Amino acid sequence: MFMDPAKITAENRAIMVDFNGAAIWEKYAFVKSHPVVGLLQTFASAVSGMNIFKSSYIRDARVALEFEAGRLAELRNAGFNAPKVLDHDANWAWMTLSDMGDTVAHIVKKTDMEAEHRQNILVRAAESLAVLHGYGHYHGRPSMRDLTLNKRGIGFIDLEHNPLMVMSLAETQARDAFLFLLDATWAERDNPKLMPLLIAHYAKIAPPDAIEALDRTARALRPILAPLQYLPGGQPRAGVLINALVEGLQDRRPAARGAVHKAGPRV
């Protein structure tokens, strides 16, 4: 059942095994961090002064697998939808996980899906991420392929990043929101209202510190990315997201909230 460590690659390190119709997943320890990418991230964070660019990979693959198992258990104990760690090797060369169903990426990328149905699933994902953050937790790198959907709702898999070793919880949560939304810009082409909608649903539930860090990050990045809109392909996806964040979060800034407060409650 278990693979020869020499044959493990980034593509086959997580594989589904069918036990008479019941699926489980084997996940193998594998070094994901690339030294050159790590250096670029260090450079970007030094130049920008922003922690969110720092690499959050744990360098030792077995330590990373054990860390991920601990985080999956933590989220499950807190009542969130995450896979159960069924078994693991004594040295964390592998672990087996319960099946979480299909990923959000796989579901929303079905070409025959109606835009509204796709939008509803992405809204649920944005809200679930905000609830996770509201309870003081984080994902680490919530791409659509690391979120799942089953009858318990949105689930969280692939928790091998450890951002808290290089940034605060608020920065970690802001980076979570940014990475999720950036991945979801994929679905924005057919639906220009999607980003404002996802941002509003996230911001309605997420903790103020995370929103503040997200807003601060978007406003710091906007002037850096603005010139890129003149490239032949037009505004890059990150630029679209940053503009939507700066606009969508303006009511959440302390000054804007203070102004509303001073003017008295709106009726």
Using CB under 5 A as the binding criterion, the count of chain residues that bind Mg ion stands at 2
Residue 127, binding choice from Mg ion, ligand ATP, none, Cβ under 5 to 8 Å by partner class: none
> Least distance from C-beta 180 to Mg ion, angstroms?
13
Between residues 72 and 199, which has the closer beta carbon with respect to Mg ion? Answer: 72
Amino acid identity, position 143: S
Q: Which letter does DSSP use for residue 159 in this model?
A: -
- x-or-dash string of contact with ligand ATP, 41-80, rule CB under 6 A: ----------------------------------------
228 in helix, strand or coil? Answer: helix
Q: How far apart are CA 166 and CA 144, in angstroms?
A: 23
- Within 13 Å of residue 41, how many CA atoms lie on the same side as its CB? 14
Is 103:93 a contact under the CB 8 Å cutoff? no
Q: Which stretch binds ligand ATP (CB under 6 A): 142-150, 169-177, 187-195, 240-248?
A: 142-150
In angstroms, the CA 243 to CA 226 distance is 9
Euclidean distance between CA atoms 40 and 177, whole angstroms: 22
Candidate segments 10-18, 132-140, 195-203, 247-255, binder of ligand ATP by CB under 6 A: 10-18
Contact track, ligand ATP, 154-193, x by CB under 6 A = ---xx-x---------------------------------
Contact between 88 and ligand ATP by CB under 6 A: the answer reads no
- Tokens for 233? 């392909």
Find, among 248, 123, 119, 141, the residue nearest to 189 by Cα. Answer: 119
Selected binder of ligand ATP within 25, 60, 205, 252 (CB under 6 A): 25
Q: In what order do the strands lie in the sheet with 102-103?
A: 102-103, 147-150, 153-156
Nearer to Mg ion, 58 or 170 (CB): 58
The correct pick among 148, 172, 185, 217 for binding ligand ATP (CB under 6 A) is: 148
Chain residues binding ligand ATP by CB under 6 A are 10, 13-14, 25, 27, 83, 97, 99-100, 103, 145-146, 148, 157-158, 160
